[in-house]
A and B are shown apart, each in its own frame.
Chain A
């Protein structure tokens, strides 16, 4: 017998269930007066640097129907490509931009709306630059463990072409599942949980 590595196991995930709003966006589901506002509902203020954009995200099930009880969180760099995080050692991010947002999908339309800024480019592990991207984490009833994916931008063709994460996707036909289409000032992004257009989800 060798010595024990003395490691613990991560607590197993369980679904967020149909009532995730009670815990994470109580004001959205009419539980008022407990928290002043829902955490992560506002990402940008007058001082925030960068190009204002809107993300319209939907999550579609295996029949192509948008989920109306999902919750999405996003995490992104500021306009200069810096994360507002203690683990960011390259500099200080825009103090007027946390870079984290949380929104429920609309109970009628299934659209999840984020008002944010376009992120700058962040270096990969080997210092090559990744294309501008936003990290998504998706939970809902029926999702046993939160799904991780990335949103890239359709008007960043050159950067996307040299992005080291997009380059890892063996089935090249699936790369477009990670690219949001620009429509005016908004980017539209459909996440397909299943089927021919199934979005690439990451394990990282």
Chain B
């Protein structure tokens, strides 16, 4: 998913699953004035390692330093920039919308168009689950905004390289 905003970056960091590793990684960004926009951390294959997918914003000039400083951390195995490659980028969102019986069928139609699942339904509200690239979730958010959005949670991006390449 080529990125258009040149200040937005997506990094994948493969780390030993040890206490403090997230703090160390986060510190590298904070010290250089980068803002972490989203962060997904989960155990990798055997639980010994973890994968972090970090979306961050900051001056692209400084990104090289960030990648090197992160890579240099003892508990980091590697740090890869996926901003400009063709990796698979996915995100999930849960959106709670205020709809009663009157608007429901229209809302469901929009949701269906975006491939959403309805995961909760009450007389006054519904929760839909959407999975896709971040732009798709943005678009859905816009479309559904004609109803009142009660709350919204997004997981942040996860990234995986295509084909034989590893992330």
Tell me if chain B binds chain A: no
Residues in A lying within 8 Å of B, measured CB to CB: none
